Amino acid sequence: MPNSPVRRPARPRFFLGPSQRLVGVFVLFILLPGAFLGVFALRVLRQEGQLARQRTRERLERTAEEIGRDLNLEFRRWNDAARTAAGVKTFDAGSFPEIVRLALLEPGGGVYLSVSDKGLEAFPAGALLYVSPAMLPSRTSPSRFPAGLAEAESLEMAREDYPNAIRAYRNLLDSADAGLRPLILQRLARTLRKAGKPGEAAGAYRELQRLNTAWIGGLPSDLIAQSELCSLAAERGDSVGLSQTAMAFYRDLATGKWLLDKPRYLFYSDRCRTWCRESLVAPDEFDRVRTTEERKLALSRAAEDLLNLPRGMFSGEANAHLAFWNTDPFAMVVLSADFLESRWWPQLLTTRGEDLEGTLSTPDGQTVFGSPPSETPPLAVTHDFRIDDTPWLLQIWPVRPEAIYADIRQRQALSIGILAFVAVLLAFGSYITVRIVRRELEIARLRADFVSTVSHEFRSPLTGIRQLGGMLLDGRVTDPVKQQGYFRMIVQESDRLARLVENILDFSRIEEGRREYRFEPLDPTPWLRKLVADFKAEIAVTGAAVEADIPDGLPAMSADREALGSAVRNLLDNAVKYSPGAKTVWLDALAEGGEIRIAVRDRGVGISEQDRKHIFDRFYRADGEISKRVKGAGLGLSLVRYIVTAHGGTVECQSRVGEGSTFTIRLPIAPLTGGG
């Protein structure tokens, strides 16, 4: 809701007369020589750069061939180590070659696999979380069952006579040897759970968990016990108990305590994660176990893929793995590509006397070593080679391509320095000249507009006062009622003139940093109501009206009554002046969120988005016919912002052209200390 002379962009008069000659001097003596020097220097730099890139590419191609040969030697060294490891009889760290032992001892670094008549054997224990069912060692339940077990199972399963089944299982348990106790105890716990005795069932499962592991139906007895204990805790809604049992179960699974087949492992792992998320498991602890599991799952998936593809060397996924084989006897070392990369990939790239980066990948684009760049790096070279009939692609590039220009760096720096110096001189000179000229023209225009506007603003109330006073002095108005009305109009015009003078003086004091405020406790409700009442009286002759919604009991605040009243009056005055088609404006007040909000709303002409960015600037007024007709010095809204800011508040504007505007003052409820 702007309120001062129309501010239009200054005409580009600095492109005429002497300024035009100055531009010509710039072009003739700075721009043209600078352009010529720049073109010449760029041509020279381009030629030298092309030669340097060609020499560097040839050197990088030779380096790539050398790295390919080193990779071949390194992979052969691992193949030799795998063949040596195939002769290991006892699985312990000291039995393996040094380079294999280092990989096997690092969690997730690798695993050694061999196949014998016992099935698949892996070292270290727990490195794999699952294998295919065909690779599992033979694990069967006891072939000899005690007399009476069939009868107890019949009571449980067929007749659902749980009390007698429980007694039968307990009688069997009392006389069973250590090998059969897990089998009977598991059935007893299962029957107790069916009989609706979860507490006794949990006790039986805990006892089963403490016994030596036995295989029941292809599953280890302690795994069955832990799973059922989690299930019981979940059924009871015992979050604390579930968090403890589920986390312990998940940790045992992730550390590879039991070597299961893939479907069963994934089933129990999924159940554990669900239980952990539904209970009070600490997120950090869960994430640590989850990270360990993911690393081992990647190793397990790679081992599964490579066992299904004999002689395959690479298993590609989010975590790539490499395999080194021995055929007779069958043995395989599966290594994490991350482990190999951390051990010797950086050394391969840095031992050539250059700072290089690179990737090793398969022909179909799966990366084994290195981090592929988001875009093709400059001067990158690609070398393809084969290792044991496996094709590979090696790509390398310099980390700092600019380092290859060492022989021409000095000349480049000199040429670029000259170009930069000329460009800075040109830009700085042009900027300073245009800025100074434009600033002077703008200041002169603003001063002239301001003086003209203020003169008109003073002339209007002075003219009214003079005319009314003259009529009263000459005795042309004899009616006491009319005399009283004229006196009232004289007072109103005097007040308007005083407010204009006070605005100008306030603005001057603010600009010079001399404006002071007297902060004192202020009850907003009566203060705002009186302010609105006074304003209504002033605008009554214009036919305008103010509708106010000021609730009782607004919290007190610390403020300068006169200064803040001046800010609110400015907003009300603007709302009336810029609402030619709507005679009513609104003032709303409320306390919310530790602050008091005073909103002045109208249904006037509105403010464009472009003008809203500048309406609080001094002397600014928006373009438009209504702005031309409405008087103003362009200080009102800037004073509002200064005053509200001094009170620790903010002022906001929301407006749409043709629909009106809302100005909202936000002031803190807490008393302010000190003065402006």
Query: Does residue 401 fall inside a structural domain?
Result: no
The whole-number pLDDT of residue 674 equals 43
User: What are the backbone angles phi and psi of residue 613, rounded to the nearest 5°?
Assistant: -70, -20
Query: Does residue 521 fall inside a structural domain?
Result: yes
DSSP, res 672 = P
Mean pLDDT rounded to a whole number for the chain: 78
Could you please report the per-residue DSSP string of 141-207? Answer: --S---TTHHHHHHHHHTS--HHHHHHHHHHHHHH--TTTHHHHHHHHHHHHHHTT-HHHHHHHHHH
User: What are the backbone angles phi and psi of residue 391, rounded to the nearest 5°?
Assistant: -80, 145
Q: Over 50: is that where the pLDDT of 12 sits? A: no
The whole-number pLDDT of residue 434 equals 57
Measured CA to CA, the distance from residue 483 to residue 466 in angstroms comes to 15
Please compute the mean of the pLDDT values over residues 535-560 and round it to a whole number: 86
Which residues lie closer than 8 Å to 215 by C-beta, 6 or more apart? Answer: 139, 140, 141, 221
**358 close to 396: Cβ distance less than 8 angstroms:** yes
Query: Does residue 430 fall inside a structural domain?
Result: no
Could you please report the per-residue DSSP string of 622-657? Answer: --SHHHHHS---S-HHHHHHHHHHHTT-EEEEEEET
The residues that bridge with 131 in the sheet, in sequence order, are 261
Measured CA to CA, the distance from residue 193 to residue 190 in angstroms comes to 5
Q: Both ends of the chain: CA-CA distance in Å?
A: 27
Angle CA 564–569–572, to nearest 5: 135
Domain ranges, residue 595: 517-668
Query: Does residue 551 fall inside a structural domain?
Result: yes
Chain centroid to CA 582: how far? 47
Output the CA torsion sign for 56, 62, 68, 69: negative
Three-state DSSP class for residue 212? coil
Measured CA to CA, the distance from residue 271 to residue 267 in angstroms comes to 6
Measured CA to CA, the distance from residue 221 to residue 328 in angstroms comes to 36
User: What are the backbone angles phi and psi of residue 612, rounded to the nearest 5°?
Assistant: -60, -25
The whole-number pLDDT of residue 192 equals 92
The whole-number pLDDT of residue 200 equals 92
pLDDT (tens digit per residue) in 127-149: 888 887 767 766 665 556 777 88
Query: Does residue 616 fall inside a structural domain?
Result: yes
How far CA 183 is from CA of 196, 404, 623, in Å, comes to: 21, 74, 93
**598 close to 528: Cβ distance less than 8 angstroms:** yes
Which residues lie closer than 8 Å to 32 by C-beta, 6 or more apart? Answer: none
Query: Does residue 536 fall inside a structural domain?
Result: yes
CATH number at residue 579: 3.30.565.10
The whole-number pLDDT of residue 10 equals 39
- Total domain count, the chain: 1
Please compute the mean of the pLDDT values over residues 605-615 and round it to a whole number: 80
Please compute the mean of the pLDDT values over residues 368-387 and round it to a whole number: 82
Confidence label for 506 from pLDDT (cuts 50, 70 and 90):
low
Region of poorest pLDDT, from 11-20, 100-109, 263-272, 593-602: 11-20
Residues present in the chain in total: 676
Please compute the mean of the pLDDT values over residues 363-370 and round it to a whole number: 80
**111 close to 127: Cβ distance less than 8 angstroms:** yes
DSSP, res 93 = G
Measured CA to CA, the distance from residue 246 to residue 555 in angstroms comes to 55
Please compute the mean of the pLDDT values over residues 463-492 and round it to a whole number: 72
Query: Does residue 437 fall inside a structural domain?
Result: no
* Most confidently modeled range among 135-139, 191-195, 461-465, 510-514: 191-195
Which residues lie closer than 8 Å to 74 by C-beta, 6 or more apart? Answer: 344, 348
The whole-number pLDDT of residue 8 equals 37
pLDDT (tens digit per residue) in 176-201: 888 888 988 999 999 999 999 999 99
Measured CA to CA, the distance from residue 436 to residue 631 in angstroms comes to 31
Three-state DSSP class for residue 43? helix
Q: What is the pTM of this model?
A: 0.51
pLDDT (tens digit per residue) in 227-257: 999 999 999 888 889 999 999 999 999 988 8
The whole-number pLDDT of residue 405 equals 58
Query: Does residue 464 fall inside a structural domain?
Result: no
Region of poorest pLDDT, from 204-218, 444-458, 597-611: 444-458
